[in-house]
Structure 1
Amino acid sequence: MRARPIDEPNRVSSQLELLFDLTFVVAVAAVTAQLAHQIIQGHALDGIVPFLQVFFAIWWAWMNFTWFASSYDTDDVGYRVLTMVQMAGVLVLAAGVPAAAEHADFGFVTLGYVIMRIGLVVLWLRAGLEDPARRRTALRYAVGISVVTVGWLYHSVLAPVSAELPLFVLLALLELAVPLWAERAEPTTWHPHHIAERYGLFTIILLGESVLAVSRGVAAALKTSEISSPFVVIAVSGLVVLFSLWWLYFLVEAGEGLSGRRDRSYLWGYGHYGIFAALAALGAGLEVAVEQSGHGSIAGPFTVGYAVAIPVGVFLMLLWMVHALVVAESVIHPVLLSLCAVVVGVLPLAVPWIGVHGVVAAIAVSCVLLVAVTIAVNHVRVPAPDFGTVRGRRR
């Protein structure tokens, strides 16, 4: 197991990484469905903290494997088997999501998380054994992950109820600190374009989960009523919102930026927790909005409106922040983006006059306008390329 080159040409996600991502589809679907259930039952505030906790476990496990694989993807038998172990842990974690969301029982979630960490620790130990140049870094990762995993076991089994949330926050901060500490010995050779592609793929997975969530809401609404105009408006507007957010995210190609600003990779990567969580929460909000149009929800209209608006606003603001870290000049103008986020945040107040379907439609229109104006501004500002001078140059 030797470190892969930082500038390896044509580096893309492997088939094993794509299969690995599919297990997270199950986990994200489970946590999104539970959040939607809490909102529908009128317990939105009670469901937010468990959602963020479980999603942290999902995101962090995915991120740890992704960055390891970017440096040490040997794709041999041992690597594949240990990846399968981590995939099994994801499925165990997904099975424990309902208990975590409904009863604050994180036993199975912790078990799945520990299984994933065991696979990752063994991979780091192997890297330390077979890559002498970065042995200290690999061993720091292995030790740091192991120590924090013991903390998670204590949190799940022995910690008093009153200390569970503060201890969770402490352990989460320690998890975030492990890469900062380990990489100080000798930085790993993660590939910037590969990392950017992996994050883009996970963004697409989360957008796909939102489409699935909307389809669940459609099925639930059809059980309680006939197709109505609000139902159609919400379903179509939800798809437009998701398409607009996809468009905005991929306006910036992060690979080149990460290549020249490797020191900002921590903030860039950690900032995606909020982006990914917002997309997952948006799926839950759209599911509830569609179901509410069929009178299948006891949640109030203001709650449903904000269940869609808040994730969209959070996504927009964090998107600008992570883009600003890796590009010299943001493609999306911060004033336009901030204005759109403010408008989206205010729109649910109009529920008494335009209804939930009107709010979701207005959010969709706001996002479309942001995309349209951004494209128009950049089309005017950026001159057309002279293909006679860039022929043969790698873009």
Structure 2
Amino acid sequence: MPGFNIITEEKIKSGKATDIYFSRMKEILEAKNKNPQVVAEITASTRGILAGLNEAVELLRDKPINVYSMEEGTFFWPNEPVMAIEGDYLDFCELETSLLGFLCHNSGVATKAARIKKAAGDTSVLSFGTRRQHPSLAGVIERSSYLGGMDGVSNEAGAESIDIKPSGTMPHALVLCFKKQEEAWRSYDEVLDKEIPRVMLCDTFSDEKEEVMRAARELGDSLDAVRIDTPGSRRGDLKEIVKEIKWELEKNGFEDVEIFVSGGLDEEEIIRLKEYVDGFGVGTSVSSADPIDFGMDLVEVNGESLAKRGKYSGKKQVYRSKDFKDEILLRREPKPKEKKPLLKPLIKDGEIKRDISLKKARKKVLNNINEIPLNESLTT
């Protein structure tokens, strides 16, 4: 069939975007007149940053259920519940596939973005990766990237969806269309709004250092930054290339020109380069981040604590100290001293009880970025 392969919002909300065994289970339960009251908990096998509550709320709202969850932007440890749903099972069983999809994908991107931002420190990092995913996911990727700490996003529609301005430079195709670097750089400066930073791509036809100095002489005080995006097959030691560029700019009176690097970057490379670089464009490693492996499991059925092998039964709460040491207890057990509960009411009898704020979630990540244990295997 012609058209885009996009599942409609209506099908997602109605439970059609589900694994078939949930539909078959629902048919069996209805035929046998069974609709147990359950508690279902969502846990992950890895650590990460929780994201996607905005979509989860849209999916679960107006259902006769109660939902408790951690706040968006919260760091979580493996095997602790980030969300709990209470209600009659037939009211939400077919939504599990979509709910997990929202949380797994969003949290995966946000977690990787936070790892990248933690590695970059005070150096600016932009999300450049939506071209590596289905375009219908641009809003998902850019929101989660920004939530995870990225300083800006490149996709126009994605930026619009989170009410920020898109950020970007120029493509190699612009230089190729003019066939001459100077003409492309000059045209960029002449045509575009003066509020747009003058960041010139300097690796299209010749040596990066040579092109950088040509751009600096061509645009003079108008030049804000240069971007290096050389393919890995032609790159050599990028750190040495950037150090040479920085040296030449400073020794020739262009010390205010910043250096921006993009192309195949991950945490290790960012750590190597950040001393000499003013900004990074990170694409595939964030937009194609592995999803967080969340699962949803019943832990209580008709008031009885019950769980499958490998899972802990009973309705739980997660308590956290200031140093991110968590304690998982049954909700009926006494609250530990000097620890705060993380699972808070999100939906009560179908009514949303908490605002889902991207700004607040991003602030939570950035406020804790240096303390959350995400990059413990990396060194600076």
TM-score, normalised by the number of residues in structure 1: 0.24
From the CA coordinates, give the structure whose radius of gyration is larger.
Answer: 2
More helix by proportion, 1 or 2? 1
**Greater RCO, 1 or 2 (C-alpha within 8 Å, sep 6+):** 2
